Amino acid sequence: MRLPGGRLDAVAFAALADAAVELGDGGLELTSRGNVQVRGLAAGAERELSGRLHAVGLLPSVTHERVRNIVASPLSGRDGRGLVDVRPLVGELDAALCADAALAELPGRVLFALDDGRGDVIALRPDIGLYAVASDLFALVVGGIDSGLRVSGGEGVAAMLGVAREFLRVRGGRWRVAELDDPVGLVAGVRGESVELPAVAVRPPLGLVPQADGRVALSGLVPLGRLDSAQLTGLRGVAELIVTPWRTVVVPDLTDVPHSLAGSYGLVAAPDSTWAGLTACAGRPGCAKSLTDVRADAAAARAPGGGLAVHWTGCDRGCGRPAGRHVAVVATPGGYEVRLGDEVRARPEDLTATAAAVATTRRSE
């Protein structure tokens, strides 16, 4: 399910949590685009699921569901950072995208981003994005680079969709804007000087984040990106939940500060936790292609140490891998391979050796 801006209100969250427990495998998977998945549906259950989602506004357009890939600065308008509140632009972009029949043909990989200037989601190198450079001035970003065109908030959505239409016209067989020889050529209008965009995302800090209005937001890591049934129960009743592209969630606008993150919602708030920087694809039994239960192995092979992010997958396809340089632990018919970029760093014999190879590789840069 696409969640533009990662946002779920209380009603939509309750419907999803119920669906995960009653129709799926009991958990909710978070994706690297700030979306969610319900897995383990019985045959035919998708009709019941889509009916439930539609009833709470989570499926506003059957034709455009694939293309509603919109990420936005998760703490925008709340913590006093950022140059502008991009939340209104999320709804505006989503509605305008769904209202244009032709844009249903965009490839499902095209990512839209709305960054309030703090440099979080723009570092995901979106296909089409707005990056605030002043309180009402945005850089129009195409293929992960600043096009040089500047637009106001009122012009931003039209400018983004103009780029999307032009990409549709010229894309041929390409899936992403960055695959074009000249992505900036998609932009109409007078372009000025470009700025360098942040290469590494300024992620929301973990823990309690003071808001400008005196309330607090709670930001926590979701181990291996899966909210289990106990967490879904614990989070029920929060007014809003924001799913970020980094497998964390934010519970904003709290007045009663929970004593313990773990006790309240089962979230991890310590940046040095062994769960930090660790992700995995669904693996077995959730994915038929998986060679093994990668989640169980990733959890068992956790080690402190920091360094590069680590992503475990049950086959070579690499679903859910994080943006940027990271250590990949890939299940092969001969066991795990530990890779860095295109290079295979180790083919360990067992899980203990895999854990050691991962620890060494993630600290090697």
Minimum distance from residue 39 beta carbon to ligand SF4 (Å): 10
Minimum distance from residue 320 beta carbon to ligand SF4 (Å): 7
Region of 19-27, 52-60, 248-256, 281-289 interacting with ligand SF4 (CB under 6 A): 281-289
- Residue with smaller CB distance to ligand SF4, 231 or 279: 279
Comparing CA positions, the residue from 181, 160, 151 lying closest to residue 112 is 160
Minimum distance from residue 27 beta carbon to ligand SF4 (Å): 15
Query: Which residues does 230 contact at the CB level (< 8 Å), separation at least 6?
Result: 266
What the block records as the tokens of 87 is 């939340």
- Residue with smaller CB distance to ligand SF4, 235 or 281: 281
Tell me the torsion sign for CA atoms 333, 335, 340, 345. Answer: negative
Determine which helix (DSSP H) or strand (DSSP E) holds 332, and give its type and residue range. Answer: strand 326-332
Minimum distance from residue 354 beta carbon to ligand SF4 (Å): 16
Verify binding: residue 287, ligand SF4, rule CB under 6 A.
Answer: yes
Cα separations in angstroms, 291 against 245, 259, 286, 311, 313:
26, 41, 11, 15, 9
- Residue with smaller CB distance to ligand SF4, 227 or 282: 282
* Residue 116 near residue 132 (C-beta atoms within 8 A): yes
Q: How many residues bind ligand SF4 (CB under 6 A)?
A: 12
- Residue with smaller CB distance to ligand SF4, 74 or 314: 314
Site for ligand SF4 in 293-332 (CB under 6 A): 313-315, 317-319
Site for ligand SF4 in 239-278 (CB under 6 A): none
In DSSP notation, 288-314 reads TT-SS-HHHHHHHT-----SSEEEEES
- Residue with smaller CB distance to ligand SF4, 27 or 314: 314
Query: Which residues does 155 contact at the CB level (< 8 Å), separation at least 6?
Result: none
Helices 87-99 and 153-170 pack at an angle, to 10 degrees, of: 40
Minimum distance from residue 243 beta carbon to ligand SF4 (Å): 18
Footprint of ligand SF4 on this chain (CB under 6 A)? 281-283, 287, 289-290, 313-315, 317-319
